[in-house]
């Protein structure tokens, strides 16, 4: 099932235009909170950012709109793009990767892997699925790292990223601390599940857009992805 009609170059351009329009609106909503927070404090800012994220996350995902088109009359299409903007600004951009800035493009995929693990725990450690997701080679002083040396290096920088993600998601009520088998552990909240569904649809949307863009380049060269 397609998340959006991309049968023609015009449909692709319309989808990209709507994505840009709705993403800009979410950014403006976030900027409005930041401007008003200047007159208050960080508690005000966090509270209203959380409310904004919840409002967008509670909107139908792209998949839900396709399954229930009647909702188009009752609520807005494209809340998924707003969630993506807010997650990027509030969670991903706050991850400390100063020691390895080239990891920036990997942060969103890693966050999805982390939330997926929180949603359906399969591993002993939250780091394990993230380590498994990193398949690229790592070189130090011209030598490729392998075995336990590579594992230790990956763990050292993933630890900080995971701690940053968890801390920020906790601030925005996407995860909560619970007792699991006699130990404390993190669990995704209903709001976190909603955010996860939107992020998954955003990834599917990007894949569909990329595929359609490649398809139509032959018939309409220089079709912009921006």
The reply to whether 223 falls in a domain is: yes
Q: Please give the pLDDT value at position 104.
A: 79
The reply to whether 120 falls in a domain is: no
The reply to whether 188 falls in a domain is: no
For all residues of the chain together, what is the average pLDDT? 84
Please check the confidence at residue 219 and state whether its pLDDT lies above 70. no
Please check the confidence at residue 171 and state whether its pLDDT lies above 80. yes
pLDDT digits (tens, 9 = 90+) for 105-141: 888 988 999 999 998 888 888 888 887 777 666 666 6
The reply to whether 156 falls in a domain is: no
| Confidence bin at 33 (pLDDT 50/70/90) | very high
| Confidence bin at 152 (pLDDT 50/70/90) | confident
Which DSSP state fits 95?
A: S
pLDDT digits (tens, 9 = 90+) for 74-88: 567 889 999 999 999
Q: Please give the pLDDT value at position 211.
A: 85
The structure's pTM equals 0.84
Q: How far apart are CA 125 and CA 56, in angstroms?
A: 30
b (16+ CB within 10 A) / e for 24-34: ebbeebbeebe
The reply to whether 149 falls in a domain is: no
Domain that holds residue 18: 1-91+200-226
Contact (Cβ atoms closer than 8 angstroms) between residue 201 and residue 63: yes
Q: How far apart are CA 111 and CA 117, in angstroms?
A: 10
Closest CA to 138 of 130, 128, 149: 149
How many domains are contained in the chain? 1
Q: Please give the pLDDT value at position 138.
A: 63
The reply to whether 99 falls in a domain is: no
The reply to whether 20 falls in a domain is: yes
The reply to whether 174 falls in a domain is: no
């Amino acid at each position: 099932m397609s998340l959006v009609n991309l049968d023609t170059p015009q449909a692709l351009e319309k989808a990209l235009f709507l994505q840009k329009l709705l993403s800009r609106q979410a950014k403006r909503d976030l900027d409005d909170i930041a401007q008003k927070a200047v007159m208050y404090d960080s508690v005000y800012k966090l509270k209203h950012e959380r409310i904004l994220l919840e409002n967008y996350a509670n909107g139908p995902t792209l998949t839900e709109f396709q399954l229930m088109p009647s909702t188009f009359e009752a609520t807005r299409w494209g809340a998924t793009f707003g969630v993506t903007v807010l997650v990027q600004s509030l969670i991903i951009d706050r991850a400390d990767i100063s020691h390895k800035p080239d990891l920036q493009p990997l942060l969103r995929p890693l966050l999805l892997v982390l939330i997926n693990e929180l949603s359906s725990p399969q591993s002993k450690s939250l780091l394990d699925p993230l380590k498994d997701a990193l398949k690229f080679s790592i070189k130090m002083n011209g030598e490729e790292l392998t075995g336990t040396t590579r594992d230790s290096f990956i763990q050292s920088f993933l630890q900080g990223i995971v701690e940053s993600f968890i801390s920020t998601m906790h601030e925005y009520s996407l995860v909560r601390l619970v007792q699991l088998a006699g130990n404390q552990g993190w669990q995704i909240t209903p709001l976190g599940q909603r955010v996860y569904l939107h992020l998954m649809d955003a990834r599917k949307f990007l894949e569909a857009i990329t595929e359609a863009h490649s398809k139509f380049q032959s018939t309409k060269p220089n079709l912009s992805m921006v």
